[in-house]
């Protein structure tokens, strides 16, 4: 069972770093099958923080719903289209299967061969029993399947429609019968009846199989050589020889090519619905080139889902990776408001009003007495100082300060230096278009039936703000119009001075309510305001309440 530790959509530094550090903690406390993931793109700052401490960004998951590939059997037992049905039957019997997929020489799936279809072939209905003498196979396949030895001539691999003729009649009856046969296609199966053997050779039949391991008279062998008739010696009696010869037909001859195949990425619940009414015994799983990479049986739906989740830095399913609701959530570590869905089982739910989820992870290490490796301390610092703007945000607690000091000792990195380095990388105003800067960290809210969005970007200085502000306002207006919001806001924060500019586009009646100093139309100066969730959001929802 794999445990995936994953943060919220539109991940920030805390979501990524807490997932990775908690995965390290889990491994150190004896849970090896743990993996950290993300469900959105990282940005330059996150990449910088990870790289600085020797990590690379965790695996990307667009959706964690169980998929066909999670439960399919990838060690597939197949039949080759050019192998005798006899060999396929042996494998079906050995494994107690109801049939096999049939592949070509490039592993492409051609169809399915079922034991039902084979049985129908070997035991045809009475009205079709005549056809049962025909075997569409090469002589070599027939020889091998019977286990016969060459007595005269050698067989080839050309596939022909052969007709098996058992001679159990008097010579004069056989003489009449012989006239009606096409000698090129005829394989006689006969015991040590020399007259019959001679008649067959003289008529120029393609092959004679001598049953019962009885061999052939040297004179007749010589005659056969002259006439070009192949003579094979079967170790079995006539009845067995016939049965074996018939099962020399190629698997490809008997396949149903009208079959349902699956793709490895198909979600299991979709596959379940698609296959519910099908009587097919198994479903080949094919890659984009039609190559067989696995097989799914209906019983595979009963297998337990091989993955469970630990959510970090969020607890609401609306913010979680797609498909999270379909997997067991076994733990949640968070520092936001509680909006978690009910769970089936009791779970570990650590929600603490501290500055970052990374603080909670650092605390887990301390409580368990597990030493924090210096690189892990480094990424924990990244998440902590990025969420608290280096311990200056009003969300910061005494616990955060104490932990930051401890982490700094372990990593040997000064928090202020690290914060400066992180925030100096990838300034949104310098590295993004105005549109990107507005949507990169945009959260949408609904209050009293009114929908609005608040974005935030963090800068080291307002030096690039003036040149960008007009475009930012335009981008805000575009988002507002596109999503039909009552207003869109962007908080541009200078993490050095702890001040912000607020840009808002929306209805005149709303804008008039904002009572911070307005530096120009649509832009306000918010000194000392840095936290979207703790400072700005309550202010804005308060204003909304004043609207008629
Ligand atoms: Mn966080």
Q: How far is the CA of 289 from the centre of ligand 1 (A)?
A: 43
Phi and psi at 465, nearest 5°, equal: -70, -45
- What is the predicted pLDDT for the residue at 384? 97
Q: pLDDT-derived band of residue 441, with 50, 70 and 90 as boundaries?
A: confident
Residue of 515, 495, 429, 494 lying closest to 504 (CA atoms): 515
Q: How far is the CA of 443 from the centre of ligand 1 (A)?
A: 14
Tokens matching residue 124? 């045809």
Compute the C-alpha angle 427/431/437, nearest 5°. Answer: 80
With 90 as the cut, is the pLDDT of residue 333 above it? yes
DSSP class of residue 412 equals: T
Q: In 239-340, at which residue ranges do the beta strands (DSSP E only) sit?
A: 283-286, 292-296, 307-312, 329-334
- What is the predicted pLDDT for the residue at 174? 86
Q: How far is the CA of 18 from the centre of ligand 1 (A)?
A: 8
Q: How far is the CA of 343 from the centre of ligand 1 (A)?
A: 22
Q: pLDDT-derived band of residue 303, with 50, 70 and 90 as boundaries?
A: confident
The residues that bridge with 518 in the sheet, in sequence order, are: 524
Q: How far is the CA of 306 from the centre of ligand 1 (A)?
A: 28
- What is the predicted pLDDT for the residue at 260? 93
In Å, the largest CA–CA distance within the chain is: 120
Return residue ranges of the chain for CATH 3.40.1390.20: 148-234
- What is the predicted pLDDT for the residue at 221? 93
Q: How far is the CA of 11 from the centre of ligand 1 (A)?
A: 9
- Indicate the average pLDDT of the chain: 92
Q: How far is the CA of 523 from the centre of ligand 1 (A)?
A: 27
Q: How far is the CA of 298 from the centre of ligand 1 (A)?
A: 42
Q: What is the CB neighbour count within 10 angstroms for residue 221?
A: 18
d(CA 362, CA 350): 13
DSSP class of residue 535 equals: I
Return residue ranges of the chain for CATH 3.10.310.20: 428-546
Q: How far is the CA of 25 from the centre of ligand 1 (A)?
A: 18
CATH 3.30.450.90 fits domain 2-66+306-424:
no
Q: How far is the CA of 414 from the centre of ligand 1 (A)?
A: 21
The pocket of ion ligand 1, defined by CB under 5 A, consists of: 14, 313, 357, 387
Question: Who wins on pLDDT, 513 or 427?
Answer: 513
Under CATH, domain 428-546 is a member of which superfamily? DHHA2 domain (3.10.310.20)
Q: Of 80-89, 166-175, 314-323, which gets the smallest average pLDDT?
A: 166-175
- What is the predicted pLDDT for the residue at 176? 86
With 90 as the cut, is the pLDDT of residue 490 above it? yes
Q: How far is the CA of 358 from the centre of ligand 1 (A)?
A: 8
The residue written with tokens 């003729």 in the block is: 165
- What is the predicted pLDDT for the residue at 255? 87
Q: What is the CB neighbour count within 10 angstroms for residue 191?
A: 17
Q: How far is the CA of 357 from the centre of ligand 1 (A)?
A: 5
With 80 as the cut, is the pLDDT of residue 324 above it? yes
Under CATH, domain 70-121+253-297 is a member of which superfamily? CBS-domain (3.10.580.10)
Q: pLDDT-derived band of residue 329, with 50, 70 and 90 as boundaries?
A: very high
Q: What is the pTM of this model?
A: 0.66
- What is the predicted pLDDT for the residue at 504? 97
Q: How far is the CA of 454 from the centre of ligand 1 (A)?
A: 16
Q: How far is the CA of 313 from the centre of ligand 1 (A)?
A: 5
Q: How far is the CA of 513 from the centre of ligand 1 (A)?
A: 30
Q: How far is the CA of 179 from the centre of ligand 1 (A)?
A: 91
Q: How far is the CA of 48 from the centre of ligand 1 (A)?
A: 18
Give DSSP secondary structure letters for 319-365: GSPBTGGGS-EEEEEE-S---PPP-SS--EEEE--SS-HHHHHHHHH
With 80 as the cut, is the pLDDT of residue 129 above it? no
Q: pLDDT-derived band of residue 305, with 50, 70 and 90 as boundaries?
A: confident
Q: Which run of H or of E encompasses 219?
A: helix 218-227
Q: How far is the CA of 528 from the centre of ligand 1 (A)?
A: 20
Using CB atoms within 10 A of its CB, is residue 477 exposed (0-12), middle (13-18) or buried (19+)?
A: middle
Q: Which run of H or of E encompasses 21?
A: helix 13-28
- The angle that helices 374-387 and 415-424 make with each other, rounded to 10 degrees, is 70
Compute the C-alpha angle 330/332/334, nearest 5°. Answer: 175
Q: pLDDT-derived band of residue 339, with 50, 70 and 90 as boundaries?
A: confident
Q: Of 22-36, 127-141, 368-382, 428-442, which gets the smallest average pLDDT?
A: 127-141
Q: How far is the CA of 350 from the centre of ligand 1 (A)?
A: 13
Return residue ranges of the chain for CATH 3.90.1640.10: 2-66+306-424
Q: How far is the CA of 335 from the centre of ligand 1 (A)?
A: 7
Q: How far is the CA of 467 from the centre of ligand 1 (A)?
A: 31
d(CA 412, CA 268): 48
Q: How far is the CA of 331 from the centre of ligand 1 (A)?
A: 16
Residue of 472, 440, 458, 453 lying closest to 390 (CA atoms): 458
Q: How far is the CA of 13 from the centre of ligand 1 (A)?
A: 8
Q: How far is the CA of 336 from the centre of ligand 1 (A)?
A: 8
- What is the predicted pLDDT for the residue at 24? 98
Query: 148-234: what fold?
Result: 3.40.1390
Question: Who wins on pLDDT, 449 or 85?
Answer: 85
With 90 as the cut, is the pLDDT of residue 385 above it? yes
The number of residues making up the chain comes to 548
181's CB contacts (< 8 A; 6+ apart) are 163, 165, 203, 205
């Amino acid at each position: 069972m794999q445990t995936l530790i994953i943060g919220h959509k539109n991940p920030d530094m805390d979501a990524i770093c807490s997932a990775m550090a908690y995965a390290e903690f889990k491994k150190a406390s004896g849970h090896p099958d743990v993996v950290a993931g993300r469900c959105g793109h990282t940005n330059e700052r996150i990449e910088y923080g990870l790289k600085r401490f020797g990590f690379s960004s965790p695996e990307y998951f667009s959706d964690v719903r169980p998929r066909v590939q999670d439960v399919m059997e990838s060690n597939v037992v197949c039949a080759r289209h050019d192998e005798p049905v006899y060999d396929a039957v042996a494998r079906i019997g050995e494994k107690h299967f109801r049939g096999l997929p049939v592949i070509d020489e490039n592993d492409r799936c051609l169809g399915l061969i079922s034991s039902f279809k084979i049985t129908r072939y070997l035991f045809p209905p009475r009205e079709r029993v005549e056809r049962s003498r025909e075997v569409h196979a090469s002589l070599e396949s027939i020889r091998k399947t019977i286990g016969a030895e060459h007595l005269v001539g050698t067989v080839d691999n050309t596939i022909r429609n052969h007709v098996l003729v058992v001679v159990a009649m008097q010579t004069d009856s056989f003489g009449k019968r012989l006239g009606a046969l096409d000698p090129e296609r005829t394989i006689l199966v006969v015991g040590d009846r020399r007259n019959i053997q001679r008649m067959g050779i003289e008529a120029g039949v393609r092959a004679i199989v001598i049953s019962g391991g009885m061999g052939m008279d040297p004179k007749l062998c010589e005659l056969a050589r002259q006439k070009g008739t192949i003579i094979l010696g079967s170790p079995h009696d006539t009845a067995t020889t016939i049965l074996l010869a018939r099962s020399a037909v190629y698997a490809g001859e008997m396949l149903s090519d009208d079959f349902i195949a699956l793709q490895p990425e198909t979600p299991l619940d979709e596959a379940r619905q698609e296959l519910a009414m099908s009587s097919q015994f198994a479903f080949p799983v094919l890659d984009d080139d039609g190559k067989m990479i696995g097989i799914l049986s209906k019983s595979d739906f009963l297998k337990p889902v091989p993955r469970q989740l630990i959510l970090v830095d969020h607890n609401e399913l609306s913010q979680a990776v797609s498909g999270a609701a379909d997997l067991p959530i076994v733990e949640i570590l968070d520092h936001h408001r509680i909006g978690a869905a009910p769970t089936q089982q009791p779970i570990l739910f650590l929600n603490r009003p501290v500055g970052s989820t990374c603080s909670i992870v650092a605390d887990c290490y301390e409580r368990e007495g597990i030493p924090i490796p210096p690189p892990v301390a480094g990424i924990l610092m990244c998440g902590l100082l990025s969420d608290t703007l280096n311990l200056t945000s009003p969300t910061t607690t005494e616990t955060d300060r104490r932990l930051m000091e401890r982490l700094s000792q372990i990593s040997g990195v000064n928090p202020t230096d690290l914060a400066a380095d992180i925030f100096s990388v990838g300034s949104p105003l310098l590295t993004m278009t105005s549109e990107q800067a507005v949507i990169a960290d945009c959260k949408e809210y609904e209050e009293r039936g009114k929908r609005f969005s608040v974005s935030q970007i963090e800068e080291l200085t307002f030096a690039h703000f003036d040149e960008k502000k007009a475009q930012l306002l335009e981008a805000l207006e575009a988002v507002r119009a596109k999503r039909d919001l009552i207003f869109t806001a962007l908080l541009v924060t200078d993490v050095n001075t702890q001040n912000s500019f607020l840009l808002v586009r929306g209805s005149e009646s709303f804008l008039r309510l904002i009572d911070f100093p307005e530096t120009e139309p649509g832009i306000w100066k918010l000194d000392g305001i840095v936290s979207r969730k703790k400072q700005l959001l309550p202010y804005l929802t308060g204003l909304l309440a004043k609207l008629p």
